[in-house]
């Protein structure tokens, strides 16, 4: 077809040349005629001049001259008419030729347009061939991946796990005989019935209603606050059951027991608070009280005797939970030490905490207390069981008193010595008349009011806590109360005599990360030790202490949940699965969204980025029964809380490199099947240290339908994409004729309950992958950028990995506060979640663990949710985010003006950063100067090799 076109063009040009030659020949002939005529006219004029000049002298020849002139005129008239005819004929020819030339030019232009169209079709076909070849390569890769998955499914030797399926017992405890002498030797292996607590039971617990089942003598009452609070908090516990036949353990609230209003004189000795017969007659006691938990909680600074009323009582095989224990009473690994319930029932408690900075405060060490002597033993008027002097080894007590006197003297000398350090030491309290204070047994009582002690503790780097002078006690409620107040105020506890006591939940909490334990004999070396601790360790211990306080001690809800979790952990039973957020569709059941066939192809589509696979969810609950064994320490002391079982964690263990080749695990996709390789082999497999996986994109949108549709259409053909979640924040549903693009993966449009930026981080149950790409609806990311970010995230799963970097700057010139900054900088501390990968685990924590005050501030400003997520991740990991590529901003041509372009947007972000730092008690964000770029970036390689990413 192209040859025929060229031949027509040649004939066209030959015809044009012939016509032009004819035109020029005619033009030359006409010019010659005009020249001849001019010569004739010139000659005629000469003759006329000659004859006219002779008229006067030769009159006789006038007639002859006139005759000749007339004859000439006739001749010239005849030639001019002929010339005019010829000129008109030439003009007609010229017009005809011009018209024909115009027609030929128009035809030539049409032919040129056809040629251009054909050339464009050729280019389009070539491009389509490239796309088809790319799709074919992807299909080949997908086929290889499918074959590998099929082979792995056949060879799989590990089961696919799911949330634990509950296997429950359905019978009440039977009566067994038991002698009280066996109680002191009780341990979990001989006093606990494990048959009621199957590994898959879910650990059901039954609570005796404290309003119905009371085992206290009539002259005593259970503290009303504790009765109501424990009933309410355990009612919220996910393990609670109302069916006693299926229960694993039975919880009974014993106290705090208080004298009733009908008591007699203050010096009267009342009977023992515990009514043993009522205890043994409980409907599910089973004769020996196995699997029973007796909660003897305290809320006040009560006498040791009152807070230890279960001493020398027949409690059978029941586990005792209280704050005060004698050494011969406490059964390690069986009984549980808990702090007093000093906080509110629940809620945010961040306002109770002092700031964690600066590291060193006004006082290096503080102490407020007074020791009670042995004389106070006999003066105790309202104790439940007065301890006689005969019960105490007086010689040992005297030695211990002498040691305490030496400690007091040394501390006084330390405060008056030559040192730059300041101390606040108070050994004398205002005399107290309250029986609850006078009833102390060789223990240190608190001085001052709670508010006054709190102010001193906020100014103290360390706070001294002295173990009881009576070493018969392994712990007392007074020590637990001191620990509570110290951690709340950010003062690091220094327990002198720490080698003789136990602290709360000592089986699971690593107290040495937050508290200094010193033998009393090291009191002379204490000052040296405190001065030798660097600021970094001070802040670490203070932060760890706040974590323990907030999680396990600050509220009654936390205390109740911790008691249940510690027993469940002891039995090795998994927690209940974490609650996910439902994903209601924005469409009703009958409406079917209109699909659009329009596809927006990426300009870099010729670069193969990976195989197109069917949706593949990340395996869940693979570590149901091993997570508490391997990472129990981290779960209790680092990773937020042990109260729920999460489907995956960003901290899961990594297999060794040879595991992917010798069959220890399946699902790996090593590059080049283990031989490595450059771009081609790289694009065919994920590689890395983790098995294959996909990611989910979450887009938050509000009344920008067309912008959203364009963003969705650009996701067509994106490898490793599991699904797209669109969180519809607008109260108005999408328009019915909106055409949704078919991008090859499901698009789930979720109806938000309300317009909130916090919806971006809800742990929706439709998210089936660990990796979540949080994207704004107007962010335009290329496919290669997304794939590169995904690959980087797989190596930094516990961090925020994304594109736009920001940092927090200190404003020391004006406000001495933090500012939010978006300028280009060599450091960054945040990656905006408008285009960032995060682990789904952080969505659980953002929704259920992050202080409510932060989420409320996000709703107030309709801003800062990305800053809050960066705070959360940096606080938990103590690592900065990871930025990928050089992107710093996003441009969205044609998009409506966004909120971020308003000046108030930045002012609100300044306020957010300072408020969040106040809630956390310190600035958790960390600076980094690191940016991730792809391997072989700007590396010269041979022509037969391909870089990992062509355009990054």
Question: Which residues sit opposite 465 in a β-bridge?
Answer: 495
Which of 447, 442, 443, 475 lies closest to 463, judged by CA?
A: 447
Q: Which position has the higher pLDDT, 266 or 774?
A: 774
Position 105 pLDDT exceeds 50? yes
Taking residues 883-905, what's their average pLDDT?
Answer: 70
The residue count for the chain: 952
pLDDT digits (tens, 9 = 90+) for 565-593: 999 999 999 999 999 999 999 998 888 88
Whole-number pLDDT of residue 389: 32
* Residue 369 pLDDT class (50, 70, 90 cuts): confident
* Residue 604 pLDDT class (50, 70, 90 cuts): low
How many Cβ atoms from other residues are within 10 Å of residue 119's Cβ?
11
Active site residues: 866
pLDDT digits (tens, 9 = 90+) for 311-354: 888 899 999 999 999 999 999 999 999 999 999 998 888 988 88
pLDDT digits (tens, 9 = 90+) for 716-734: 989 999 999 999 999 999 9
Taking residues 465-487, what's their average pLDDT?
Answer: 91
Q: Which position has the higher pLDDT, 940 or 238?
A: 238
Taking residues 595-619, what's their average pLDDT?
Answer: 76
Whole-number pLDDT of residue 270: 59
Taking residues 258-272, what's their average pLDDT?
Answer: 59
Query: DSSP readout, 670-685?
Result: -GGGGT--SHHHHHH-
331-335, 379-383, 479-483, 824-828: which has the minimum mean pLDDT?
379-383
pLDDT digits (tens, 9 = 90+) for 517-537: 999 999 999 999 999 999 999
Position 388 pLDDT exceeds 50? no
48-52, 751-755, 852-856, 866-870: which has the minimum mean pLDDT?
48-52
Q: Kindly state the tokens that stand for 866.
A: 């990305």
pLDDT digits (tens, 9 = 90+) for 785-800: 999 999 999 999 999 9
Instruction: Burial-class residue 43 by CB neighbours within 10 Å (0-12, 13-18, 19+).
Output: exposed
Whole-number pLDDT of residue 2: 42
Position 360 pLDDT exceeds 50? yes
Whole-number pLDDT of residue 385: 38
Taking residues 801-825, what's their average pLDDT?
Answer: 89
Whole-number pLDDT of residue 674: 87
Alpha-carbon gap, residue 259 to 275, rounded angstroms? 14
Whole-number pLDDT of residue 591: 84
* Residue 263 pLDDT class (50, 70, 90 cuts): very low
Whole-number pLDDT of residue 886: 87
Long-range contacts of range 20-26, CB-CB < 8 Å, 24 or more positions apart?
Answer: 22/93, 22/97, 23/93, 23/94, 23/97, 26/90, 26/93
Whole-number pLDDT of residue 45: 65
Q: Is 360 helix (H, G, I), strand (E, B) or coil?
A: coil
Alpha-carbon gap, residue 424 to 420, rounded angstroms? 13
Strands 931-932 and 882-884: parallel
Which of 855, 862, 829 lies closest to 915, judged by CA?
A: 855
């Amino acid at each position: 077809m192209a040859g025929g076109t060229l031949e027509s063009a040649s004939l066209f040009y030959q015809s044009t040349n012939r016509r032009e030659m004819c035109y020029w020949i005619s033009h030359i002939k006409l010019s010659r005629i005009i020249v001849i005529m001019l010569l004739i006219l010139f000659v005629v004029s000469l003759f006329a001049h000659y004859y006219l000049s002779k008229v006067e002298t030769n009159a006789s020849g006038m007639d002859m001259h006139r005759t000749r002139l007339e004859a000439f005129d006739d001749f010239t008239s005849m030639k001019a008419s002929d010339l005019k005819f010829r000129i008109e004929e030439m003009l007609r020819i010229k017009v005809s030729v011009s018209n024909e030339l115009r027609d030929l030019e128009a035809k030539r232009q049409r032919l040129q347009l056809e040629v251009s169209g054909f050339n464009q079709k050729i280019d389009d076909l070539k491009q389509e061939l490239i796309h088809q070849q790319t799709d074919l390569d992807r299909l080949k890769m997908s086929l290889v991946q499918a074959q590998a998955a099929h082979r792995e499914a056949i060879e799989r030797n590990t089961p696919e796990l799911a949330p634990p399926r509950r296997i429950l017992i359905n019978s009440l405890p039977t009566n067994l005989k038991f002698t009280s002498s066996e109680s002191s030797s009780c341990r979990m292996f001989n006093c606990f019935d494990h048959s009621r607590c199957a590994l898959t039971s879910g650990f059901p617990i039954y609570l005796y209603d404290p309003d119905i089942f009371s085992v206290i003598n009539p002259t005593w009452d259970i503290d009303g606050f504790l009765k109501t609070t424990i009933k309410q908090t355990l009612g919220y516990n996910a393990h609670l059951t109302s069916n006693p036949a299926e229960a694993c353990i039975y919880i009974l609230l014993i106290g705090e027991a208080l004298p009733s209003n009908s008591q007699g004189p203050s010096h009267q000795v009342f009977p023992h608070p515990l009514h043993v017969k009522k205890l043994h007659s409980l409907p599910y006691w089973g004769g020996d009280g196995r699997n029973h938990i007796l909660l003897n909680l305290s809320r006040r600074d009560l006498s040791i005797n009152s807070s230890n009323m279960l001493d020398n009582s027949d409690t059978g095989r029941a586990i005792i939970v209280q704050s005060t224990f004698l050494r011969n009473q406490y059964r390690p690994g069986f009984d549980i030490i808990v702090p007093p319930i000093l906080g509110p029932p629940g809620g945010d408690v961040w306002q109770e905490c002092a700031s964690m900075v600066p590291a060193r405060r006004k006082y290096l060490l503080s102490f407020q207390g007074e020791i009670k002597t042995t004389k106070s033993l006999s003066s105790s008027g309202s104790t439940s069981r007065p301890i006689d002097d005969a019960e105490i080894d007086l010689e040992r007590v005297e030695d211990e008193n002498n040691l305490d006197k030496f400690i007091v003297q040394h501390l006084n000398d330390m405060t008056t010595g030559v040192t730059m350090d300041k101390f606040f030491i108070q050994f004398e309290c205002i005399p107290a008349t309250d029986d609850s204070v006078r009833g102390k047994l060789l223990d240190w009582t608190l001085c001052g009011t709670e508010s006054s002690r709190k102010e001193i503790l906020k100014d103290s780097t360390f706070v001294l806590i002295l173990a009881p002078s009576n070493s018969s006690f392994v712990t007392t409620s007074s020590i637990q109360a001191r620990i509570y107040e110290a951690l709340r105020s950010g003062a690091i506890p220094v327990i002198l005599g720490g080698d003789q006591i136990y602290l709360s939940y000592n089986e699971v909490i690593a107290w040495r990360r937050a508290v200094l334990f010193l033998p009393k004999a090291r009191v002379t070396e204490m000052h040296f030790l405190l001065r030798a601790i660097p600021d970094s360790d001070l802040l670490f211990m203070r932060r760890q202490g706040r974590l323990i306080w907030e999680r396990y001690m600050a509220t009654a809800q936390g205390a109740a949940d911790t008691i249940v979790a510690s027993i469940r952990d002891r039995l090795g039973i998994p927690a209940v699965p974490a609650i996910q957020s439902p994903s209601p569709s924005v469409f009703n059941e009958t409406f079917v969204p209109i699909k659009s066939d329009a596809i927006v192809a990426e300009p870099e589509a010729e670069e193969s980025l990976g195989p197109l696979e069917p949706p593949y969810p990340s395996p869940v609950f693979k570590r149901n029964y091993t997570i508490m064994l391997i990472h129990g320490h981290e779960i209790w002391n680092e990773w937020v809380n042990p109260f729920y079982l999460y489907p995956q964690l960003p901290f899961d263990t990594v297999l060794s490199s040879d595991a992917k080749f010798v069959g220890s695990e399946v699902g790996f996709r090593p590059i080049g099947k283990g031989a490595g390789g450059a771009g081609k082999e790289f694009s065919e497999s994920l590689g890395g240290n983790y098995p294959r996986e996909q990611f989910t994109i979450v887009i938050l949108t509000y009344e920008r339908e067309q912008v959203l549709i364009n963003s969705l259409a650009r996701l067509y053909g994106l490898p490793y994409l599991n699904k797209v979640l669109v969180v519809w924040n607008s109260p108005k549903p999408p328009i019915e004729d909106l055409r949704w693009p078919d991008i090859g993966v499901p698009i789930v449009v979720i109806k938000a309950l309300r317009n909130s930026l916090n919806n971006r981080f809800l742990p929706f149950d439709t998210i089936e992958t660990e990796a979540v790409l949080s994207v704004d609806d107007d962010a335009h990311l290329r496919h290669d950028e997304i794939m590169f970010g995904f690959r980087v995230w797989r190596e930094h799963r516990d961090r925020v990995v994304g594109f736009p970097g920001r940092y927090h700057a200190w404003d020391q010139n004006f406000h001495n506060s933090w500012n939010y900054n978006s300028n280009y900088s060599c450091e960054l501390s945040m990656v905006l979640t408008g285009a960032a990968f995060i682990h789904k685990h952080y969505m659980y924590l953002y929704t259920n663990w992050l202080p409510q005050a932060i989420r409320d501030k996000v709703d107030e400003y309709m801003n800062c949710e990305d800053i809050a997520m960066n705070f959360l991740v940096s606080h938990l990991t103590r690592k900065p985010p990871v930025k990928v590529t050089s992107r710093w901003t996003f441009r969205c041509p044609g998009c409506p003006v966004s909120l971020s372009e308003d000046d108030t947007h930045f002012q609100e972000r300044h306020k957010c950063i300072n408020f969040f730092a106040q809630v956390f008690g310190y600035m958790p964000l960390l600076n980094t100067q690191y940016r991730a770029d792809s391997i072989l970036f700007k590396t010269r390689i041979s022509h037969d090799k391909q870089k990992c990413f062509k355009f990054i």
